[in-house]
Amino acid sequence: GGVPAPRRDGHLSRSWGMAVNVYSTSVTSENLSRHDMLAWVNDSLQLNYTKIEQLCSGAAYCQFMDMLFPGCVHLRKVKFQAKLEHEYIHNFKVLQAAFKKMGVDKIIAVERLVKGKFQDNFEFIQWFKKFFDANYDGKEYNPLLARQGQDVTPPPNPGDQIFNKSKKPIGTAGNARVP
C-alpha cells in the first residue's frame, strides 16, 4: 500500500475501520513460551524487558496499539518510565480508551495486571499477541521515532518496590547493580 496522504493538520490520515476482535481459547500450540513472547515484545518495540511481569506498566500495549492503528493512542500521554501502580493504571486507562475507540471488546483486568503477577500478565500478552496478529498489516514502524526519544526504562521487578523502600538507605540504590 501507499503512504497515507497527510491531512491539513499534518497528521497522517489512515482509513482503518474497527479492530478485528479475537477471543482467547485455551492454550494451543501456537502460544509462545514466555521467552519467545518477551523476545517478540522487545524486538517489535525495541525495548529491553527481562520478564513478562514488567508488562504490568501497560506502556508496551499502548505502543502496540499505535503500531496497529496509528493515531489511536497519544503516545505523549503514555508514561514509559512508569514505576508506580498509579502510573501503570494511567497507562491502562490510555489503553482502554484506545480499545474503545477501535471497538475492541476485551475487558482489561487493570487492577490485576498492575499488581505485576506473572500469570495475569502472561495471559493478557497471549491474548494481545493473537489480537496483534489478527490486526497487523505488516507496515513499517519505527518504535523509537514514535516514542520521540522517551526513555523506556522497564519497570522495576514488580513486587520489589514494596520491600526495597525500607531496607536501603537513600543514595545507594543506584550503585548497587553496577557491573
The pLDDT of residue 43 is above 60: yes
Cβ 34 vs Cβ 49: under 8 Å: no
User: What pLDDT does 157 receive?
Assistant: 72
User: What pLDDT does 12 receive?
Assistant: 45
The pLDDT of residue 32 is above 90: no
The pLDDT of residue 28 is above 60: no
| CA distance readout (Å), 76 to 97, 131, 175 | 14, 23, 30
Q: Which residue has the higher pLDDT, 50 or 177?
A: 50
Biggest alpha carbon–alpha carbon distance for the chain: 56
Per CATH, the number for 48-166 is 1.10.418.10
User: What pLDDT does 162 receive?
Assistant: 46
> Which of 10-14, 30-34, 90-94 has the least mean pLDDT?
10-14
- Please state, for a pLDDT cut of 90, what percent of the chain lies above it: 66
Nearest to 120 by CA among 112, 111, 131, 108: 112
The pLDDT of residue 51 is above 70: yes
User: What pLDDT does 101 receive?
Assistant: 97
- The number of beta carbons lying within 10 Å of the beta carbon of residue 133 is 11
> Once rounded to an integer, what is the mean pLDDT over residues 75-102?
97
Q: Using one digit for the tens of pLDDT, what is the confidence trace for 89-145?
A: 999 999 999 999 999 999 999 999 999 999 999 999 999 999 999 999 999 999 999
pTM: 0.77
- When pLDDT is cut at 50, 70 and 90, the band that residue 158 belongs to is low
